[in-house]
Amino acid sequence: MALICDSGAVYALYDADDTHHSSVRTAVEAESGPLYLPVMLVAEIDYLLTTRLSVDAELDFLGIQEGSYSLVLPTSADLGRCHEVMEQYRDLRVGIADASVVATAERLQVQRLLTLDHRHFRTIRPHNFSHFILLPADA
């Protein structure tokens, strides 16, 4: 099955000292399907890796073209859905990164998210299923 990846979980994969590193790594290693990464998250992940870890971690992540993740470009419909999500959940301060995870999951019909962000993704109700399954928590 496939997973849509979120920034915090991807960061945790690179930071061996992160509290969630081993659980996120276990979830990824158990995954047989593609790891979809909305391209809108690349800059956010790059920033986290550079400022919190190192340029080496950043460069390792940018090796993604070698197949670790399947990058997903946003469509104009995705951007419209991002706007809807950001408006509907404005009190949660859902940003474009998290909204793009929602839009990508809905378009690809993938209910499972690799994320540590329970606050947003336990609250947001996707259009084409009742709720998201959050990994590694729901494993």
Asked whether 20 and 116 are in contact (CB, 8 A), the reply is yes
Q: How many domains does the chain have?
A: 1
Considering the chain, what is the average pLDDT of its residues?
Answer: 95
Q: Is the pLDDT of residue 127 over 80?
A: yes
**CA atoms of 125 and 98, how far apart (whole Å):** 13
Q: What is the mean pLDDT of residues 99-119?
A: 98
What is residue 4's predicted lDDT score, i.e. its pLDDT? 98
44: its two tokens:
């956010």
List Cα–Cα distances, 38 to 16, 103, 106, in angstroms.
23, 9, 12
Half-sphere exposure in the Cβ direction for 111 (13 Å, CA): 9
Confidence band for 96, pLDDT divided at 50, 70 and 90: very high
What is residue 8's predicted lDDT score, i.e. its pLDDT? 97
Confidence band for 139, pLDDT divided at 50, 70 and 90: confident
Handedness of CA 29, 133, 82, 18 (dihedral sign): negative
Q: Which of 60, 79, 82, 1 is closest to 35 using CA atoms?
A: 1
What is residue 71's predicted lDDT score, i.e. its pLDDT? 93
List Cα–Cα distances, 35 to 25, 39, 115, 116, in angstroms.
12, 12, 12, 15
At 28-75, the pLDDT tens digits run 999 889 999 999 999 999 999 999 999 999 998 888 656 789 999 999
At 83-92, the pLDDT tens digits run 999 999 999 9
Domain encompassing residue 63: 3-135
The CATH number linked to 42 is 3.40.50.1010
Distance from the Cα of residue 40 to its chain's centroid: 10
